Structures are given as structure tokens and as C-alpha cells.
Amino acid sequence: MDNPDFIKDLINVLKNDTRFHILKTIVQGRYSVVKLQEQLSREGHLHSRNTIDEKHLRSLVEVGLAAESQDHYYATTFGSRLNEMLDDFAEFIDILPAHSECYEETILDLLLSGPKTFEDLEAYLSPQIASRILKRLKSFDLIKAPENRDYVFFFRSKRDPKRESLSETEAKVYFGLPEEGIAVRKLATKANISLRRTYRYLRGLKGKKLVFTRKSPRTYTLTDRGERLASLLKSLQDLVGEVWQSSWHVSAEKS
């Protein structure tokens, strides 16, 4: 766990259906490679003993999820605890790419704390990578974003409207502007005025310095499904931190 890439390596190990099934199997007891092959075959996973040993079991051992004794494999305490929280992970295995740099997981983790703009995400990933990963996550219904790249919002200025002569409709448009601002299409619906006329009245109000505009950048948020996966990945990271702390204290006590 001293490896700075441990979380990435752990997640990549788990993003494999066969390994996922092996972990769930050896949590139940100790298995030889022969017995594991028989069990996996019954579940539709047809692999040679060499593949099971070299490609899957050793990967689980390397990240501390499994251990071996007298040619039998079993789940470690860490593996057993992690298995308890992974029931919902199976549906996401084919979505998250294996052997990756975990860019998808990075964005999901960032969005778990709240909506982010593209500029926010650029602080962690290059624009090219962020754009590609966002499209992929959106295609799997893990994130959502407005179709427009950004919205122009209209706000009331601090200028006193009593200093200006407003028509009845101008007043309706002006007082229909909420404090947090509003997009013109929503304002037109709220005021029950056509979009074209709403723009015309807003231009007049802007000329009277009663209204100003501000662009609200496009933001990305998690869908319910995306939040479920992001929360699962966060729980996994928290467990790793907890196990690391426990291991550190044990090592400190022994020294």
C-alpha cells in the first residue's frame, strides 16, 4: 500500500469479471486452482489453470485481496471486507476500462463533491482527455450536462427602477428576474411572453442599466447511477485508507 498508484492498481484488478468472481468464491473458503477452475466453469468462466493462476490469482495477491498457503488460495481480511461492499460493482465492470489510468474514476470522484465546469476538470486532466472521458461517461448515463455549451443569464442591476419609466410589460419582465438570475427562455415562459419580445424588452432594460448579463458555464453533474458508482469507489478508497492506517499502527507497535 506504500505504492502511490495502489488505488489505481487495485481498481484495475477489480475491473475484470473473472477476478471479481474468484474473489467472491475464495471469500467462502480455501480453494486450490483445480477447484477454482471447476467452480468458474460452472459459472460460465472457462479458463486454463495457468490463466487462473498467472493472470487472476496473482493479481489478487499483489494488491492484498488474496493469499496463498499450501497451494490453496483464500481471501485476506482486506479482501473479505472489500467484497462486502462490492455487490453493486458487477454492473460497472464492463463500463470502466481495464488497465487504464483511471481517468473515469477521477472525474466521478471530483463530481461526487458537486457540479463542476469543464475548466474545473481541466485542473486535473488535459482538455483532450477530459473531453473524451466526459463523452464516455455521458454515454453510459453516469453524468449529465446541459446541451448548450453555456447559458446567458440575466440579472437585475442595483439601479433603482423607480428612476426609469417602465411600461407594464417591461415591469413584468424586470420583476420576473429572480435574484439568482435566469435564462431568457425560462423568463419568457414565466412572463408568458414570446421569446422574441422577451429579448426586445430585455435589450430595453439593459439600455436603462436595469439589467446585466453573465455567462454561466456548462456544468457536469452525476446521474443517480453515476452517484452510486462514485460513492462505491469512494467507499473503496476509504477502506484502503483505514487498512493502511491499521497496518501502520501494527508496524509501529512492533518496531
| 215 pLDDT tier (thresholds 50, 70, 90) | confident
pLDDT score at 248: 42
User: Which residue stretches of the chain are H helix?
Assistant: 6-14, 17-26, 33-42, 49-51, 58-62, 77-84, 103-112, 118-122, 127-139, 168-175, 184-191, 195-207, 224-254
| 2 pLDDT tier (thresholds 50, 70, 90) | low
Q: Which three cell numbers stand for residue 213?
A: 448579463
Asked if residue 206 has pLDDT above 70, the reply is: yes
> Averaged over 26-41, what is the pLDDT?
95
pLDDT in tens, 47-62: 999 999 999 999 999 9
Q: Which three cell numbers stand for residue 31?
A: 480453494
Q: Are the C-beta atoms of 6 and 63 separated by less than 8 Å?
A: yes
| 247 pLDDT tier (thresholds 50, 70, 90) | low
Please state which CATH number belongs to domain 6-92: 1.10.10.10
| 1 pLDDT tier (thresholds 50, 70, 90) | low
Q: Which three cell numbers stand for residue 92?
A: 460497472
| 253 pLDDT tier (thresholds 50, 70, 90) | very low
Please state which CATH number belongs to domain 150-217: 1.10.10.10
Q: Are the C-beta atoms of 138 and 145 separated by less than 8 Å?
A: yes
Looking at the chain, the domain(s) classified CATH 1.10.10.10 span 6-92, 103-146+221-254, 150-217
Please state which CATH number belongs to domain 103-146+221-254: 1.10.10.10
pLDDT score at 137: 96
